[in-house]
Amino acid sequence: MTRADRTPRQRLDAEERRKAILDAGRGLFAGSSFSEVSTQRVAAAAGASQALVFHYFGSKAGLYTAVVEDAVEHLQAALRSADRALPAGAPTRDRVRAALLVYLDEVARYPRAWAPHRGAEEPAAATAVRLRARADQVAGLRGWLRLDAAAWPRHEYALWGFFGFVDSACLAWVDAGCPEADRHPLVEAALGALEGALGDWGG
Amino acid sequence: MTRADRTPRQRLDAEERRKAILDAGRGLFAGSSFSEVSTQRVAAAAGASQALVFHYFGSKAGLYTAVVEDAVEHLQAALRSADRALPAGAPTRDRVRAALLVYLDEVARYPRAWAPHRGAEEPAAATAVRLRARADQVAGLRGWLRLDAAAWPRHEYALWGFFGFVDSACLAWVDAGCPEADRHPLVEAALGALEGALGDWGG
């Protein structure tokens, strides 16, 4: 076999090893804070060496940031998929409700991952990933509502405030143990908050 | 003079020195993050020795936490005072509006102090002070609205969500440079959010 034939197989192995480490990191960081998880533990859980963790992610902060990036991409894909599942021309309120239900699924799946919103320390690079994702979410909702923030500043505060509302309400839900029965009250409160904050739906 | 006569004067001096260090810390932390401010700089600004900073506050984290405690107490006193200035029997909406205006004054006075809400690192003890203050604020608003959260879970998510809304909207206001013209739109958005989230005002 020529070298040209072997290279693709080697690349695949590298990706698989990287993914195994990322999966192990996700599993451990989902249950513990950044400072509580060591790269040794991640390496052991992935069946890899600590040197490989550093090779692929540079540092524990790099691994943690990759885990956050992965979680953000997973969430955004789930949100797009839920939105595509709605009938064409669905009212904005239904689109926001569907997005909130996806968000709650994610919160319930990784409740511990919401701890940084409560002040648990995390690397600055990971926080930057979250802030960019938030800006994207605000821009997405602004588009759904066809808002022109310059025309009425209240709308812009309504959008940013809404996402703060959702995060804070979700933390209260996590504290209550993510009870299924509270899903609907939480979503109704959040939809009411957005509606009330806007004053109208995109007028 | 007897020793009994000198002790009170010495205590006063100690309190004044402690206050000078606390004031210097407040001034420096208001413009820079926790990691950017050294105890040397605080000592120099207070005209004190670094040893005295450690004597009174134990550590930089202890000083920072004392600054946060002081800011929280100042805010709570301002909120009580604004509430007392309202006519007896003022509608809850007016009480919440008055509280929001006090909150915005505080945000505009120390805009940099809101950075931890955006992920800037701070000592865990300081975060704990903020979380206790938040729980007090939620309890206070629950009382104003005479809500029984057990009766309708949506109300509890509305309360916690509302404070997340306000924090997030205030960060957007800080990013815009705390424009005076946006004070009213922000307050109206927040009042609308609370009203919409509750579904009614304490029914």
d(CA B172, CA A145): 19
Looking at B85-182, list the stretches that DSSP marks H as alpha helix, in order from N- to C-terminal side.
92-109, 124-144, 153-175
User: For testing the chain B interface, which of A132, A168, A188 should be mutated: the one with the most B CBs within 10 Å?
Assistant: A168
- Looking at residue A35, its pLDDT comes to 85
In which residue are the tokens 């300081």 written? B126
Query: What pLDDT digit, counting tens, does each position of B80-131 carry?
Result: 999 999 999 999 999 999 999 999 999 888 877 776 666 667 888 888 898 8
d(CA B146, CA B157): 15
Task: Give A-chain residues touching B168 at CB under 8 angstroms.
Answer: 160-165, 167
Average pLDDT estimate for A85-93: 94
For chain B, which domains are there? 1-58 (1.10.10), 67-203 (1.10.357)
Transcribe B62-74 into DSSP letters.
Answer: HHHHHHHHHHHHH
- Contact between B195 and B145 under an 8 Å Cβ cutoff? The reply is no
- Closest chain B residue to the Cα of A179, Cα to Cα: B153
Tokens in use for B157? Answer: 């998510």
CB contact under 8 Å between A153 and B197, yes or no, is no
Tokens in use for B11? Answer: 């205590």
CB contact under 8 Å between B199 and A192, yes or no, is yes
**Residue A113: band (very low, low, confident or very high) from pLDDT cuts 50, 70, 90:** confident
CB contact under 8 Å between B164 and A160, yes or no, is no
**Residue A119: band (very low, low, confident or very high) from pLDDT cuts 50, 70, 90:** low
- Looking at residue B52, its pLDDT comes to 94
Chain centre distance of CA B192:
23
Residue A45 burial (10 A CB sphere; 0-12, 13-18, 19+): middle
Tokens in use for A18? Answer: 């990287």
Tokens in use for B84? Answer: 């007392």
Give the CA distances from residue A27 to residues A2, A46, A71, A112, in Å, rounded to whole numbers and listed in that order: 39, 10, 12, 11
CB contact under 8 Å between B166 and A161, yes or no, is yes
* Percentage of the residues of chain B whose pLDDT score is greater than 90: 68
At residue A202, does pLDDT exceed 50?
Answer: no
Amino acid letter, A194: L
- Looking at residue A203, its pLDDT comes to 39
* Cα Rg, chain B, nearest whole Å: 20
Residue A159 CB coordination number (10 Å): 25
Query: What pLDDT digit, counting tens, does each position of A144-158 carry?
Result: 999 876 778 899 999
Query: What pLDDT digit, counting tens, does each position of B5-41 carry?
Result: 555 556 668 889 999 999 999 999 888 888 889 999 9
* Percentage of the residues of chain A whose pLDDT score is greater than 90: 68
Q: Interior CA angle at A84 toward A78 and A86, to 5°? A: 110
Average pLDDT estimate for A172-187: 94
Tokens in use for A24? Answer: 């192990």
CB contact under 8 Å between B194 and A193, yes or no, is yes
CB-CB: which of B116, B158, B163 is closest to A189? B158
